[in-house]
Amino acid sequence: MSGDAVIIAAEAVRVRVPFRRPIRTAAGEWTHRESWILRLRDTGGAVGLGEAALDFDRGEDPNAAELSRLFRVMVERVSAGESLPTTAELEASGVPGRALRSALDSAMLDLGLGASAPGAVSRSVPVNATIGFLELSETAAAARNAAAGGFGTIKLKVGPERHTAELVERVAAARAAAGPNMLLRLDANGAWDAATARVRIAAVAPYRIEYVEQPIAAGDAHSLAEVRVASPIPIAADESVSSAGAARDLLAARAVDVLVVKPARIGGPVPTWEIAAMAAAAGVHVVISTLFETGVGLAAALATAASLPVVAGATHDYAHGLATADLLESDLLTHPLSVVDGRMQVPDGPGLCISLDDAALERYAVEWLGRRP
C-alpha cells in the first residue's frame, strides 16, 4: 500500500446501526448492521474514511472476532509509529483481512494516497431499488413506489417460497405493479438446489427477468455453470464472488453472465477493479453491491462503480445495488448520498467527498479504538 509512511493516526469505531425494519432474505432475518468505521490522518492533517463489514452470520462469527483483533493490532501499530499492514498480510487473514483491506483502501483512496481509478469516472451511476422478502401486497406496493421514485431496476429477494407457484405469484405481482418497462432481477441468495433452480427459473421466464442472482449455494462453479446452460434467463453470482480468485474461477467455468461484486467482501476498490477488467475481457458484466454498509462504505462502493470498464456489446446500463442507505436508521454522514431518478450522484470533489456525522457516530458506537484524529 503506497504512502503508508505519511499516516500518523488511526481511529476505528465499531458501530451497530439498526435497520428501519428487519431485512428478510433466504439467508435469514437481520435487525441491524454492525461494521467498523475507520479514520486515518496523514501528516498534512487530512482525514480519510473507510468501512469494514462482514457478511451476516446466523451465530457466533469467528470472523468478527478476528476482524476486531486485526483492527486493534493496526491501531496499536500506527500509534507506535509503525506502518499499516500490507496487502499480503491482510490476504493471509482471509475474510476478516479482506474486510480490513477494504476499509484501508477506501481511506487511502479518500486521502488520494492509494491506487487511483483505472478509467474515466462517471458523474452518476444507475442504481436498483431493493425489495426484501415481503408479503404479496407489500411487494406490490414497494414495486409501485420504486417506479414512482424513478428507478429503472428492481431487485426482488426470493428463495424462501415453499412452492414454485408462490414464487411466480410474487414475481407476477412485482411485474404488474412496476409496469412492463421496469428491469426486474431476482436474488435467491443460494436458496435452491440445482434441480429446483432449473424449475423455478423456467417458471418465471415469462416475466422478463434481467437475471437471477445466486440461484444455488456458493462454492460450486461447475454446478452453477450447468444451471446457466439450462437457464432461459441470464445468471449472476454474488456470494460466490468471495475473492478475486473466486471470480477468476467463475469466469473460467463460464458459470455467469454477471458478477455481483461487493467491495467490502473482496478487499475494496483495487481488487474490484481487477475483477472488472477480467470480466470485461470475458464479456461478463459487473454489478457493484454492498453488505448494507453505512454511507462510508456506500461512498467507496459508488466511487468504484463509477469507474468500471464498459463491456463490449452491452445492451443496457446495469444498475448497481447501492441505494440501501435508507434501510438503516442512519447513514452516519452529514450529507447523504443523493439518488435522483434512479441514479446515484457521485460527489464532486477530492477523494470520497463525504464527512461523518460525529453525533450519529457517538450514538451508534459500541467500541472505540485509538484517539480521534
Q: What's the CA gap between 320 and 54, in Å, rounded?
A: 19
Q: Which three cell numbers stand for residue 231?
A: 437457464
Sheet with 7-25, strands from edge to edge, namely 47-53, 28-42, 7-25, 365-369
Q: How far is CA 154 from CA 145, 266, 279, in A?
A: 11, 24, 23
Closest CA to 306 of 272, 280, 335: 272
Each as own residue / partner, the long-range contacts of residues 231-236 (CB below 8 Å, 24 or more positions apart, any chain) are 231/197, 231/198, 231/201, 231/202, 232/201, 232/202, 232/205, 233/201, 233/204, 233/205, 233/209, 234/210, 234/258, 235/211, 236/185, 236/211, 236/212, 236/260, 236/287
**Catalytic positions, written as ranges:** 157, 262
Counting Cα atoms < 13 Å in the Cβ hemisphere of 29 gives: 6
Which DSSP letter does residue 43 get? T
CB 227 within 8 A of CB 197: yes
Which DSSP letter does residue 334 get? S
The neighbouring-strand residues paired with 47 are 41
